[in-house]
Amino acid sequence: MKQLEIQLPDVALCDVFLPDGNGVDLVLNIKKVNPNTEVILLTAHGNIPDGVQAIKNGAFDYIMKGDNNNKIIPLISRAVDKANMNVRLEKLEKKVGQMYSFDSISGESKVLKEAVSLAKKVSITDVPVLLTGETGTGKEVFAQAIHYNSKRSKQNFVAVNCSSFSKELLESEMFGHKAGSFTGALKDKMGLFEEANNGTIFLDEIGEMAFELQAKLLRILETGEYIKIGDTKPTRVNVRVIAATNRNLTEEIKEGRFREDLFYRLSVFQVHLPPLRERTGDIKILATAFVKKFSEKKLSYVITEITPAFLQALEQQPWKGNIRELRNVIERSLIVCDNGRLDVCDLPFEIQNNHYESSDDNMESFELSAMERRHIARVLEYTKGNKTEAARLLRIGLTTLYRKIEEYKI
C-alpha cells in the first residue's frame, strides 16, 4: 500500500495469507487507490468461497501457487492488456463527458444561459424532460448533455427520430417483436427501449408519433412495462425518457393528434431552446467554433483570419434552419475558401446578396457598380454557380465575368 503512494502498477501479484492482513480484502483497498490496477491473487491454500469473494472484490484472477510459467506469464500478459484497456476506456469516457458536457454548448446570450441552467438542474434528477424549439436549435445536443451529466451517464443513450419511420416500423424499432409475429419477423428483435434499459432514450420529433403508439409510450412512463409485438407477457425496463418537438403540442392536442395525458407525463419538466435569431450575439461564437472544428478535421491548411464582413454577413441572416443551417454554411465556406482567409466571397450567393443589400441602404445603393454587383450575384445564384451559363445570360464574355467576379469579390 505504501508503494501505491509512489507508483501505480498495471498489475499486482499478491499472496492471500499475509503477515499483516488478507489478500482477498486487500484487493478492495488496491482498487480504491487505483481502479485500473489488476490484481492476481496467489495462494497455497485455495478454497472456493475465497476465490468467489476475490473476484467479487475485483481481482483479475485467483490461482494456486506452484503453477508453472506456462500459466503465470500468459496470465500476467492478459492482466496487463486489461489494465491498458481500462486506462484507454477511462480516457475515452472523460473525452465523451467533455464532448457532451454543458460546457460544450456554445453561446453567451441570456436566453441560452437560462435554457442551459434549467437543463443542468433537471439532469441530476430522473424525471422525463420535454425539449421544445424550432428545427436545428440543438435539441439532441441538450438531450445528450442531460444524459451524460446524470447518474445514468455510464449507460446507453439511444436516440430515435419518430418522423423517420412508418407507424408499424416505429413500433417494431421501439418495442421489438417476437419471431413470427408478422411477415418477415424471422427472429426475436430487441427494441430500442430494451437497448436503453437503465439508460436514456431520446425521442426526437415526438409530435410525429402515431396516436396508437402514444398509448404504449404512456404505459411505459407510468408502469415501466410494455408488450412486444407478438408477445403475451410484458417486458419491464428502467428508462429515462427525453422527448423533443418543434410542434406546438397544445395545438396538436386540440386537433386530436396528440394525447393530453401523454403530454402531461412528458412535460414534467420543459426546456425551451431559443432560435438563432433571438441570440444573434452567439453567431460569432458558434461560427468561430465551427471553423475551428472543421478546419482541424477536414482541411490541409489553417484558417488564419475570419473577416469582420464575413461575420457581419452571418449576423444579418434570418437562419430559419438555426444552428444546423449555420453549421452547413460554415462547412461549405471552408471548402470554397482557398487562401486561409474567410471572407464574404466564400459564402453562398444568397447570403452575399443579403449582406450587400443591407450594406447598400446608404448612398452606395445609387452607384452603378453596386447595382451591377447585385445583378451578377443574382444571375450566378440562378445558374447555381455555372459561370458559362451566367455569362451567356448576361451577354458578356466569360473572361469579363471572371474579371468582375474578382473585382466585386462575388
276-325 confidence digits (pLDDT tens)? 999 999 999 999 999 988 887 766 677 888 999 899 999 989 999 999 99
pLDDT at 149: 92
Residue range 313-337, pLDDT digits in tens: 999 899 999 999 999 999 999 888 8
Check residues 249 and 8 and name the one with the higher pLDDT.
249
Helices (H), 209-340: 211-223, 249-254, 260-266, 283-298, 308-315, 322-336
| pLDDT for res 405 | 83
- Range 131-157 average pLDDT: 93
Binning pLDDT at 50, 70 and 90, where does residue 115 land? very high
Report the alpha-carbon distance of residue 307 to residue 311 in Å, rounded: 7
Integer Cα distance of 330 and 25 in angstroms: 57
**With bands split at pLDDT 50, 70 and 90, how would you rate the model's confidence at 104?**
confident
Does 262 lie in the same domain as 207?
yes
CATH, residue 159 = 3.40.50.300
pLDDT greater than 50 at residue 130: yes
Domain CATH number, residue 44: 3.40.50.2300
Average pLDDT score, the chain: 87
What's the pLDDT band for 358 if we cut at 50, 70, 90? low
Instruction: Output phi, psi for 164, to 5 deg.
Output: -90, -10
Among the three residues 99, 126, 160, which one is the final residue of a domain in this structure? 99
Range with the poorest average pLDDT among 10-14, 102-106, 221-225:
102-106
Count of CA atoms in the C-beta half-sphere (13 A) of 297: 7
As for how many domains the chain has, the answer is 3
Q: Are 307 and 395 members of one domain?
A: yes
DSSP-derived pairing of the beta strands 200-204 and 157-161: parallel
**Helix or strand (DSSP H, E) at 6:** helix 2-6
β partners of residue 200? 157, 240
Give the pairing of strands 61-64 and 129-132.
unpaired
How many whole angstroms separate alpha carbon 94 and alpha carbon 114? 26
d(CA 251, CA 193): 28
Q: What is the pLDDT of residue 135?
A: 93
What pLDDT does residue 359 have? 60
pLDDT in tens, 359-384: 655 444 556 676 787 788 778 877 87
Q: Is the pLDDT of residue 37 over 50?
A: yes
User: What is the structure's pLDDT at 296?
Assistant: 75
**Model pLDDT, residue 362:** 46
pLDDT at 56 over 70: yes
Beta-bridge partner residues of 269: 129
Are residues 254 and 229 located together in one domain of the fold? Answer: yes
Q: What are the pLDDT digits (tens) for 167-189?
A: 888 998 999 888 887 877 778 88
| Domain end marker among 234, 250, 274 | 274
Indicate whether 161 and 310 sit together in one domain: no
Residues 70 and 201 in one domain: no
- Clarify whether residues 21 and 146 are in a common domain: no
Residue 226 DSSP SS3:
strand
Percent of the chain exceeding pLDDT 90 equals: 47
DSSP secondary structure letters along 115-155: HHHHHHHHHTS---EEEE--TTS-HHHHHHHHHHTSTTTTS
pLDDT of residue 152: 93
- Residue type at position 309: A
Q: Name the residue among 131, 128, 321 with its Cα closest to residue 207.
A: 131
Please, which contacts does 310-314 make with residues 24 or more away whose CB atoms are closer than 8 Å?
A: 310/342, 310/343, 310/344, 310/346, 310/347, 311/283, 311/284, 311/287, 312/355, 313/344, 313/347, 313/351, 313/352, 313/354, 313/355, 314/283, 314/284, 314/287, 314/347, 314/351
Q: Is residue 208's pLDDT more than 90?
A: yes
The pLDDT of residue 298 is 67
Q: What is the CATH number of the domain that holds 394?
A: 1.10.8.60
C-alpha cell of residue 127: 424525471
pLDDT at 202 exceeding the cut of 90: yes
Q: Is the pLDDT of residue 247 over 90?
A: yes
Give the pLDDT band of residue 98 (cuts 50, 70, 90): low
- The reply to whether 327 and 243 lie within a common domain is no
Question: What mean pLDDT is predicted for residues 34-51?
Answer: 86
Average pLDDT over residues 256-267: 94
Full-prediction pTM beyond 0.75? no
**What whole-number distance in Å separates Cα of residue 408 and Cα of residue 410?**
5
**Residue at a domain's end among 99, 126, 144:** 99
Range of the domain at 287: 278-408
Cα–Cα distance measured from residue 168 to residue 177, given in angstroms and rounded to the nearest whole number: 11
Contact 61, 79 (CB under 8 A): yes
Residues 252, 314 share a domain: no
Phi-psi region for residue 136, left (φ > 0), alpha (ψ -120 to 50) or beta?
A: left
Task: State how far Cα 147 lies from the chain centre.
Answer: 10
Helices 48-57 and 23-33, axial angle in degrees (round to 10): 10
- The answer on 249 and 106 residing in a single domain is yes
Tell me the C-alpha to C-alpha distance, in Å, between residue 131 and each of 208, 249, 266, 321.
14, 12, 10, 17
Same domain, yes or no: 227 and 375: no
Considering the domain architecture, whether residues 168 and 255 belong to the same structural domain is answered as yes
- From the CB of residue 118, how many other CB atoms can be counted at a distance below 10 Å? 16
Least Cα distance to 407 among 378, 372, 379, 360 occurs for: 372
Q: How many CA atoms lie within 13 A of 371 on its CB side?
A: 5
Are 94 and 106 found together in one domain? no
Cell numbers for 148, please give them. Answer: 451524460
Among 65-69, 241-245, 247-251, 258-262, name the one with the lowest average pLDDT.
65-69
